[in-house]
Amino acid sequence: MLRPFVSLSTRLGVTPDAVSVIAFALAGGASAAFYLGGADPIWYFAGAVLVFLNGWLDLLDGALARELGTDSKAGDLLDHVLDRYADIVIIAGVAAGVDRYALGLAAVTGVLMTSYLGTQAQAVGLDRVYGGLLGRADRLALVGVAGVVAAVQRFYYAWTALS
């Protein structure tokens, strides 16, 4: 499924680290879109699309690194750090957009602790578990779906109010 995108990235000379940075930039855009969602529901949809693209690029960076033979501990560190910051900014945008900061803090704590516990398991000699009940891909999908549902609900509300 990623093969055509890996091939295209290789032909364009895109590096895995660049893909990681672009993915983070998309997370920042998603955060801004979710923050603006209360003003116009199209922003929730835009945020959902940006979260989907962030998740897609998060898969692509590792596949591209393996294809190019450039996978490294430094690249893995950059990817994981940017992923955590992406999680934080996306949740912060949602929380600020709906004015629910305590819920946002709880969500960020849960996301960061999930990641931390995975690295701690790895540090004591266990395998790193990326999946589980709500792995990062699942969390991104959940935020993306919630963005689309919010956009549709807000549009429906406005449409019926104007009819």
Q: Calculate Rg over the CA atoms of the chain.
A: 17
Contacts of 16 (CB under 8 A, 6+ apart): 61, 62, 64, 65, 68, 70, 71, 75, 79
Give the count of beta carbons closer than 10 Å to the beta carbon of residue 7.
12
Residue 135, Ramachandran bin (φ over 0: left; ψ between -120 and 50: alpha; else beta): beta
Q: How far apart are CA 56 and CA 36, in angstroms?
A: 23
Q: Which of 17, 61, 79, 83 is catalytic?
A: 83
Q: Is 83 annotated in the active site? A: yes
**Residues annotated as part of the active site:** 83
